[in-house]
Amino acid sequence: MSNGIVYLVGAGPGDPSLITVRGVDCLKKADVVVYDYLANEQLLNHAPESAERIYAGKIGGRHNQGQDEINNVLVEKGKAGKVVVRLKGGDPFVFGRGGEECEALRDAGVPFEVVPGVTAAVGAAAYAGIPLTHRDITASVAFVTGQEGKDKNESTVDWDRLSLGGGTVVFYMGVTTLRRNMQRMLEHGRPADTPVALIRWATTPCQQILTGTLADIADRAEESGFKPPAITIVGEVVALREKLQWFDKRTLCGKKIIVTRAAEQAGEFSGKLSARGATVLECPTISLVEPESWQLLDLAIRDLHNYNWLILTSGNAVRFFFQRLESLGLDARALAQCRICAVGPKTADEVRTFGIKPDLVPTDFKAEGVVEEFSRLDMHNSRVLYPRADKARDLIPSELKRLGAHVDSPVAYRNIFPERLPPETLFALEKRSVDCITFTSSSTVQNLAAMLGDELMFDLLKGVIVASIGPITSKSCRDLGLKVDIEPAAYTLDALTEALEAHFK
């Protein structure tokens, strides 16, 4: 069998969005991914589901696999004709032992490519608000292994130049040897009041920073129980953090929030929360699928020219309706004789993507608000098409009929349970590490209760802030015994995000 290829990909310092475009491209075509402890596991989502995933992490010196074993795996998979991604925290060639792995691959005749990554020193310093160089302070920076000399009789680090040079010094993985390294710098002439920063879990919402000086940072670390993995930055530039810090000032920094929207919808909301510093756990409690039969909707679509109104109450309704319209060989021109009501600004935006300007956008996004808007119109003998979810409330069609309209409400999509909840979400709830759970429809909370059982759900959510997008969803929460802590005035994701910020501020 012909050789495959091994890509040594730098995964970056922790934030999964810091991986390079080239790195993502490599993951997308991987047959095998061999990943480290410090490589964010979210990056594995870029790989095909069929890709083999092999954990080769090293935690605090406890090796899941020795380096020789890792080399052998890369060679074996490469020789088997596989596309292998060796996903390494930070950059493969900066204290990543990437050079050793490349040597093993070259000796075995396996092609390889190195994809650089954002190394921990650069990422951690940036997210901590510490410039490694500064025109007015220092023009040099040195990267040093914090474990150097551990198994050697003599250190090979030039401590004189490192200490007296005046530049920024970054120690990698040096928490366990912190006191010894700081003492060596003091002994070789670095001033005792030189600022020092320890940065743990850099660039992630769990980032922790401890500052001090060469003289006291080791004592501070012991007193606070500061643990690895972390890097140490030594130099006058550390003092700029007080002025330049930005990452840990974000409104939701350090908060772990569950998003229960459908998988295909979660990204928008998750992005809003992540941008504000939250750790987001996507936990879809809804899976949106086609109706069991298209018959009723198809009949209505073929008769669109006889309808006066089309009511679309969500982006989902818009997407499923227009997908079916297209599948029947039609497009927006079929709606030429029909006015459109889009419930909510997001739904209206979805409608506009099809080149249609909605005729009515109720200011109140609840079903009651829709009915109130139509009550101002003469609906007698009007024909209304209301494509809906299978579990939608019956309020709109029943009230419009009372106003004299003829309403057809075929099912455009179904709301079903996913097969299971993500294990990482359940684990976080069991550990009591979740700060908040968000519900954006009644179905999200009702489905969660159905999947877990009311009693278990209630137990897992003890002490967890419950955020609801609006009064209907809040009522569903309360009906299940949950206390709603957050409910925005407007029933939109933007408003819910702002309400979360205000609550945690």
* Active-site residue set: 36, 58, 173
Going by the DSSP 8-state scheme, the letter that residue 360 receives in this structure is: B
Q: How far is CA 175 from CA 87, 153, 225, in A?
A: 24, 20, 11
CA distance 13 to 146: 17
Q: Which structure tokens are listed for 497?
A: 């995000």
Secondary structure (3-state) at 147:
coil
Task: Report the Cα–Cα distance between both ends of the chain, in Å, rounded.
Answer: 60
Phi, psi of 143 (to 5 degrees): -105, 130
C-alpha Rg value of the chain to the nearest Å: 29
Q: For residue 50, give Cα distances in angstroms to 32, 33, 78.
A: 9, 11, 17
Q: How far apart are CA 400 and CA 378, in angstroms?
A: 11
Residues 9, 115: Cα–Cα separation, whole Å: 5
DSSP labels for 190-240? --TT-EEEEEESTTSTT-EEEEEETTTHHHHHHHHT--SSEEEEESGGGGG
Tokens of 473: 């969803």
Kind plus residue range of the DSSP H or E element containing 13: none
134: which DSSP letter?
A: B
Cα(159)–Cα(181) distance, integer angstroms: 9
For residue 162, give both structure tokens: 């490192």
* Contact indicator for 192, 186 with CB cutoff of 8 Å: yes
Neighbours of 48 (CB within 10 A): 11
Alpha-carbon torsion, ordered 472, 473, 478, 481, to 10 deg: 150
Nearest Cα neighbor of 488 from 285, 272, 275 is: 272
Nearest to 296 by CA among 324, 265, 266, 318: 324
**Calpha distance 178→40 (Å, rounded):** 25
385 neighbors 337 (Cβ within 8 angstroms): no
| 196 phi and psi angles, rounded to 5 deg | -135, 140
Residue 380: burial class (beta carbons within 10 Å; 0-12, 13-18, 19+): exposed
Mutual angle of helices 315-327 and 345-352, in 10-degree steps: 20
